[in-house]
C-alpha cells in the first residue's frame, strides 16, 4: 500500500511532541513555543468550527505577521480547512473580492484558551487520511505583476514536497532561525512559516519592511537563513550591513538579483544565494549555491525544468499546484530564460515584458543591470513605450542615491550595452511601483 503524505496539521502535532519547548515563532519582542502554538491552534480550530467552518472550507485570514496569523493558519490545518491569507495592504475593493470567496473571515486573534491534551503529548497524531497529499491546504493569490492577482490552490503535498526539497538544497540546522520580512499572504513568506514547523525550527517574523530592524536582526539575533528580494538586499547594503555572524544564507527571490548588487553583497561578506520560484510551484523551483548568484541555480530535488522553443521556462514537480498544470503536463511559467552548460537556470524576465524595438527583442533586466552599475543609481526599472519609428522605445526609470544627470546615466548604460538596447530616455523618479513582495509592477511604469 502506498504510504500517505501527512497533512500540515499532522506535522505540527508531531513537532510539538518532539520539541515542545522550542521556539516555533518569534516576532519583535515575543515568541511562542511549539507546545503553546499547538494549544492555541487547537483552541482556534474549535473556535472556527463554532463559527461554521468545516473541512475543505476557505477561511480568509486578515491578520498581521505575528502570532495571530500563525495560530489562525495552523488552526485551519488542524480543522482541515483551507487557509486563504489576504494582504492587508490591498484596497477595499480588492480585499472584498478575495474575502467573498471565503466561508469564514478571521480578522482578530483566535485560540486564546488554555492548553490541550495534544499540547501535553497525551494524544497521538491522527493517522493521515487517504488522499491527504491532494487535499488543499491554502489558497495564495499571485502578486499581480502580470495582470490581475489570481488565486492558486496549493495542496498539503505541494507544501511538504517543497519543504523537503528546499532542505536538501539549503541544508538544515536543527537550530535554524529563518528570518521572514516578506508578507505571509505571499507564498515566499508563508513557506517560511510552514517549513519551519515541518523542520521543528524557528520562524522569525517581521510585519512589514524596516531596513534598520532587519539589519539588526541579521547582526544580533542569531539569524541563520533570511528570505529577501533584490531590492531589500540593495537597501541593506546601502544601510551598511556587512557580515552577519550566524547567517548561512540570504535566499534571494522575487526576481533576478542584479549582478552589481550581487557583487556588492559578495564584497561586503553577505552570503547570498539566488532562487527562482513562483506561487504556482509553492515557492522554490531552483536554487543557486551560496556565492554563485549569477544564475538561479539548478532545479530542486524532484523538479524538472526545461526551456520551450520560444524561451519560456517550463516546470514539472510535485510542488506544482494541480490547477496550474497544462494539458502537456508542464507548468507554463510565463517567464523567459535559458539553461547554461551546467544545467543552471538563467532567468531573463517575463515573456510579456520583452521590449521589441526595431525588430530586436530586449530583456528589461539586462538594461537594468547596466544602469545599476552607475554609482548614483539605487534602483532601476525598464519598460517599452510606444514609438512611431521603433515600435517601442526603451525607457528607464531610476531612483537615485546621489545627484546625477539623466543624460550621463544614459551614456553610462550605452557604453555597456549594444546601441539598440540602451535606453532612449532616462527618467528620475522618487520610487518605483512595487507589489507587497517587492516586485516591480511594470504595467504601472507606462
Write phi, then psi, for 260 (nearest 5 degrees): -60, -35
- Domain end: 328, 348, 368, which one? 348
Does 84 lie in the same domain as 49?
yes
Residue 166 lies in a domain: yes
Does 409 lie in the same domain as 378?
yes
Does 387 lie in the same domain as 273?
no
pLDDT at residue 445 in the model: 83
Does 427 lie in the same domain as 403?
yes
pLDDT at residue 313 in the model: 97
pLDDT at residue 210 in the model: 93
Write phi, then psi, for 214 (nearest 5 degrees): -65, -45
Residue 146 lies in a domain: yes
- How far apart CA 336 and CA 309 sit, in angstroms, is 11
Nearest CA among 227, 197, 216, 223 for reference residue 33: 197
Q: What is the CATH classification number for the domain harbouring 427?
A: 3.30.300.30
- Domain end: 310, 332, 348, which one? 348
Does 377 lie in the same domain as 320?
no
Number of neighbouring beta carbons within 10 Å of residue 430: 6
Residue 427 lies in a domain: yes
> The domain containing residue 366 runs over which residues?
354-444
- How far apart CA 278 and CA 258 sit, in angstroms, is 19
- Domain end: 348, 373, 393, which one? 348
Q: Which three cell numbers stand for residue 134?
A: 491532494
Residue 186 lies in a domain: yes
Judge contact between 101 and 58, C-beta under 8 A: yes
Does 359 lie in the same domain as 210?
no
Q: What is the CATH classification number for the domain harbouring 38?
A: 3.40.50.12780
Nearest CA among 175, 170, 163, 179 for reference residue 226: 179
Does 421 lie in the same domain as 299?
no
- How far apart CA 137 and CA 139 sit, in angstroms, is 7
Residue 2 lies in a domain: no
Does 325 lie in the same domain as 398?
no
pLDDT at residue 133 in the model: 72
Identify the segments of the chain with pLDDT beneath 50. 1, 113-128
pLDDT at residue 116 in the model: 35
Element holding 16 (H helix, E strand)? helix 8-18
Does 187 lie in the same domain as 95?
yes
Q: Which three cell numbers stand for residue 275?
A: 532562487
Side-chain half-sphere CA neighbours of 234 within 13 A: 22
Residue 151 lies in a domain: yes
Residue 13 lies in a domain: yes
- How far apart CA 89 and CA 95 sit, in angstroms, is 9
Instruction: State the total domains in the chain.
Output: 2
Residue 264 lies in a domain: yes
Does 365 lie in the same domain as 219?
no
Does 388 lie in the same domain as 322?
no
Does 391 lie in the same domain as 312?
no
Amino acid at each position: 500500500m502506498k504510504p500517505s503524505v501527512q497533512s500540515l496539521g499532522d506535522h505540527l502535532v508531531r513537532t510539538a511532541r518532539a520539541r515542545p519547548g522550542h521556539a516555533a515563532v518569534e516576532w519583535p519582542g515575543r515568541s511562542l513555543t511549539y507546545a503553546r502554538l499547538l494549544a492555541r491552534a487547537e483552541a482556534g480550530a474549535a473556535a472556527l468550527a463554532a463559527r461554521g467552518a468545516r473541512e475543505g472550507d476557505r477561511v480568509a485570514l486578515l491578520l498581521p505577521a505575528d502570532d495571530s496569523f500563525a495560530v489562525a493558519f495552523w488552526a485551519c490545518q488542524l480543522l482541515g480547512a483551507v487557509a486563504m491569507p489576504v494582504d492587508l495592504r490591498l484596497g477595499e475593493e480588492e480585499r472584498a473580492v478575495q474575502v467573498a470567496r471565503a466561508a469564514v473571515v478571521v480578522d482578530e486573534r483566535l485560540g486564546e484558551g488554555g492548553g490541550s491534551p495534544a499540547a501535553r503529548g497525551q494524544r497521538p497524531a491522527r493517522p493521515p487520511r487517504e488522499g491527504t497529499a491532494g487535499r488543499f491546504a491554502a489558497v495564495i493569490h499571485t502578486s499581480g505583476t502580470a495582470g490581475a492577482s489570481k488565486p492558486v490552490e496549493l495542496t498539503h503535498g505541494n507544501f511538504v514536497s517543497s519543504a523537503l526539497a528546499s532542505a536538501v538544497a539549503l541544508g538544515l540546522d536543527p537550530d535554524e532561525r529563518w528570518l521572514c520580512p516578506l508578507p505571509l499572504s505571499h507564498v515566499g513568506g508563508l513557506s517560511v512559516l510552514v517549513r519551519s514547523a515541518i523542520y521543528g525550527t524557528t520562524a522569525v517574523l517581521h510585519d512589514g519592511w524596516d531596513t534598520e530592524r532587519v539589519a539588526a536582526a541579521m547582526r544580533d539575533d542569531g539569524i541563520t537563513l533570511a528570505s529577501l528580494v533584490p531590492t531589500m538586499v540593495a537597501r541593506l547594503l546601502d544601510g551598511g550591513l556587512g557580515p552577519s555572524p550566524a547567517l548561512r544564507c540570504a535566499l534571494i527571490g522575487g526576481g533576478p538579483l542584479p549582478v552589481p548588487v550581487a557583487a556588492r553583497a559578495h564584497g561586503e561578506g553577505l552570503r547570498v544565494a539566488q532562487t527562482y520560484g513562483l506561487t504556482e510551484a509553492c515557492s522554490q523551483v531552483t536554487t543557486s549555491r551560496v556565492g554563485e548568484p549569477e544564475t538561479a541555480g539548478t532545479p530542486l530535488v524532484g523538479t524538472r525544468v526545461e526551456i520551450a522553443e520560444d524561451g519560456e521556462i517550463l516546470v514539472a514537480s510535485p510542488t506544482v499546484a494541480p490547477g496550474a498544470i497544462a494539458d502537456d503536463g508542464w507548468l507554463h511559467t510565463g517567464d523567459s530564460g535559458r539553461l547554461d552548460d551546467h544545467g543552471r537556470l538563467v532567468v531573463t524576465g517575463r515573456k510579456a515584458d520583452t521590449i521589441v524595438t526595431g525588430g530586436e527583442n530586449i530583456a528589461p533586466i539586462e538594461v537594468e543591470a547596466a544602469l545599476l552599475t552607475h554609482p548614483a543609481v539605487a534602483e532601476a526599472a525598464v519598460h517599452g513605450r510606444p514609438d512611431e519609428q521603433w515600435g517601442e522605445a526603451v525607457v528607464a526609470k531610476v531612483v537615485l542615491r546621489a545627484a546625477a544627470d539623466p543624460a550621463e546615466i544614459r551614456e553610462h548604460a550605452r557604453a555597456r550595452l549594444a546601441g539598440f538596447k540602451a535606453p532612449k530616455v532616462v527618467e528620475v523618479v522618487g520610487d518605483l511601483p512595487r507589489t507587497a513582495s517587492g516586485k516591480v509592477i511594470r504595467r504601472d511604469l507606462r
